[in-house]
Structure 1
Amino acid sequence: MNFGQLIVITGPSGVGKGTLVRLLLERHPEWYLSVSATTRAPREGEVDGKDYYFFSKEQFEIMIQAEKFLEWAEYAGNYYGTPRTPVEEQLHQGNYVLLEIELLGARQIQQTFPHAVKIFILPPSMSELEDRLRKRAKDSEAVIERRLERAKEEIAASGEFDWQIVNDNLETALDEIESILVTTRNQKSENL
């Protein structure tokens, strides 16, 4: 059986993870993006089941107890998690599965999927990260400040990941991610 490859992409809020993942999927539509679950309210334009699965805190806690998540964490006052079944189904079909998740979730994935490819996306600088968060105009000042404090902690942990990519130029960062995935696919094929 050809087992797929789990790819974990993480980094601070505002670093461009979502944009990079979207562009990767445009280049590789055969890859599967795991849709995360959350208890936060949908942002304008977000669609349940496409952008996130939106649950109440009570629903999410029941799913935690039933071990329905590969990983989960509380972040900025809300729960986030990766539903287990769709990811496992895609991996068993031999597909690449992308997880765009937070640091705590990535650490949990390391425990259950030690062979996952783990990529940390870094900002060019903290001031650039702050500019990106402000330009999104999606969060209050208090949330932006919390995200920036959290970003410092996350960046300090970037060495825990197999690869670190600075998202200074979108195309360059995208090419670097693709290069990493081609390299790991080739190494995996050689080890079979």
Structure 2
Amino acid sequence: MSGSLFIVAAPSGAGKTTLVKGLLARDPGVRLSVSYTTRAPREGEVNGVAYHFTTPEDFLARRDRGEFIEWALVHGNYYASSRLWLEEQMQAGQDVLLEIDWQGAAQVRKIFPDAVGIYIMPPSFEALEQRLRGRGTDSEEVIKKRLAAACDEMRQVDQFGYVIINKDLQRALDDLCATVQAARLRTPLVRRRNPEVFLPAV
């Protein structure tokens, strides 16, 4: 496979989705994997664009058929990434980005050890709480669950090769784009994509 695989993870409210959207707008060479989920759509979310929204029964049936490269139960809802789509894209040389949680990232790394892991951190736990409350989309119960989960999630940061602290959105986006570009310049990848440039081994 000649395409690169990027994994972007973060605790809920750290700005991961906003940063990923910014990256995709700047870099047409990266294609986002649209995840499957059993959670209800939020206002403005379009099926097949934000997520593939489905039922728990359909999700579990797809999982049992081996259609997912990773799956996880997060905040009471299932999430997963399509294995078939991912393999097809990468075999065609397409760079792909997975926007998933740390549990899913660990599963993907077992199959794709060369995947580039990028973790988005909030500037502080207090700032994370303010962002979650500022959304105005979740109940107090949901917010408390997300904050509790964030404590555990942020302790997984050492599993990722790169960390971006989202204190200033524009700076964080610049850092994300730079990380993606630098990862494309790894020697094995450049050699695979441009064999004519390299001299034969002696």
Unaligned runs of 5+ in 2: 193-202
**TM-score of the superposed pair, with normalisation by structure 2:** 0.91
Q: Deviations over 1:34-62 (max 9, x none)?
A: 00000111111111111110111010000
1:28 counterpart residue number: 27
Tell me, in whole angstroms, the C-alpha distance in 2 between the residues paired with 1:110 and 1:49.
25
CA shift, 1:30, in A, is 3.1
Tell me, in whole angstroms, the C-alpha distance in 1 between the residues paired with 2:191 and 2:150.
36
SS in 1 for 2:5: strand
Determine whether 1:152 maps to 2:160: no
1:42 counterpart residue number: 41
Tell me, in whole angstroms, the C-alpha distance in 2 between the residues paired with 1:136 and 1:88.
35
Tell me, in whole angstroms, the C-alpha distance in 1 between the residues paired with 2:30 and 2:131.
27
CA shift, 1:190, in A, is 4.7
Runs of 4+ in 1 over 4 A off after TM superposition: none
Tell me, in whole angstroms, the C-alpha distance in 2 between the residues paired with 1:103 and 1:113.
15
Tell me, in whole angstroms, the C-alpha distance in 1 between the residues paired with 2:119 and 2:75.
20
CA shift, 1:185, in A, is 1.1
2:3 counterpart residue number: 4
CA shift, 1:135, in A, is 0.9
CA shift, 1:112, in A, is 1.1
2:132 counterpart residue number: 133
Tell me, in whole angstroms, the C-alpha distance in 2 between the residues paired with 1:89 and 1:149.
37
Number of residue pairs the alignment of both structures matches: 191
1:91 counterpart residue number: 90
1:121 counterpart residue number: 120
1:163 counterpart residue number: 162
Letter in 2 for 1:33: L
What does 1:66-105 correspond to in 2, within 5 Å?
66-105=65-104
Tell me, in whole angstroms, the C-alpha distance in 1 between the residues paired with 2:78 and 2:105.
14
SS in 2 for 1:186: coil
Letter in 1 for 2:110: Q
Tell me, in whole angstroms, the C-alpha distance in 1 between the residues paired with 2:190 and 2:98.
25
Unaligned runs of 5+ in 1: none
Instruction: Classify 1:190/1:92 alpha carbon distance in 2 versus 1 (closer, same or farther; 3 Å).
Output: closer
